[in-house]
Amino acid sequence: VFYIIVGLVFLPCISRRLAPRAVIMVGFLIMVVSTFLMGPSRILGFPLKSPAMMIAGLSVLGIGAAWTVIPIIPEMLDSVKGKYPDQQSDLSDGFSGIFNVAGGFGQIVGPALSGALNKEVGFNFTFDIFAGILLGFNLIYIITCGGWEIIKSWRNRDKAVAAESPKHHL
């Protein structure tokens, strides 16, 4: 439900204000939070069993998934824009294929890995480990995909907006 609402209603509004890469980066941070909630996290000292916290985590996961899954293919196409002008259809098909294969791979490896981790370290720590993996992946994504430039551009934009706004004196 949250995936649908965020994907259809809020994501278009957010995408107009943020670069697609920034949306994806924030989406992964939201997914880290959701993973800690779904565990619930032992590292953060949450209770061992909390159905309310797990439901909240699944709801937050829908938000994070919308922020990551929906903008990925357009971002992939934008990254090669202009390099292959006569092959846009082929590129779109290829990126869709990569996206679907990666999803299928995750659907196979995810349950197997989480089952093995659950057996070794327990349910709660399994989610802590996955939250750490998501956080690490997001940090790598931020470093390699221009996250610092996005942050700098937002700081510069905020300064420009502040400079342009009229000053009111009382």
**For 21-49, how does the pLDDT look when each residue is reduced to its tens digit (9 = 90+)?**
888 888 999 999 999 999 999 999 999 89
Cα separation of 107 and 21, whole Å?
24
In terms of pLDDT, which residue wins out, 131 or 99?
131
Q: Residue range 110-125: average pLDDT?
A: 94
What is the model's pLDDT at position 164? Answer: 57
**For 143-161, how does the pLDDT look when each residue is reduced to its tens digit (9 = 90+)?**
888 776 776 666 666 555 5
Q: What is the DSSP letter of 153?
A: H
What is the model's pLDDT at position 99? Answer: 85
pLDDT higher than threshold 50 for residue 78: yes
Looking at the chain, the whole-number percentage of residues with pLDDT higher than 90 is 44
Residue 168: which pLDDT band, with cuts at 50, 70 and 90?
very low
Q: In the structure encoding, which two tokens stand for residue 153, read together?
A: 């551009």
What three-state secondary structure class fits 19? coil
**For 81-107, how does the pLDDT look when each residue is reduced to its tens digit (9 = 90+)?**
778 778 878 888 888 888 889 989 999
Cα separation of 81 and 25, whole Å?
21
Q: How far is CA 43 from CA 110, 130, 135, in A?
A: 21, 12, 14
Q: Is 82 left (phi over 0), alpha (psi -120 to 50) or beta?
A: left
What is the model's pLDDT at position 169? Answer: 45
The pTM for the full model equals 0.78
Q: In the structure encoding, which two tokens stand for residue 98, read together?
A: 């990569």
Residue 170: which pLDDT band, with cuts at 50, 70 and 90?
very low
Please say whether the beta carbons of 12 and 5 come within 8 A: no
Cα separation of 103 and 66, whole Å?
14
Q: How far is CA 26 from the centre of its chain?
A: 6
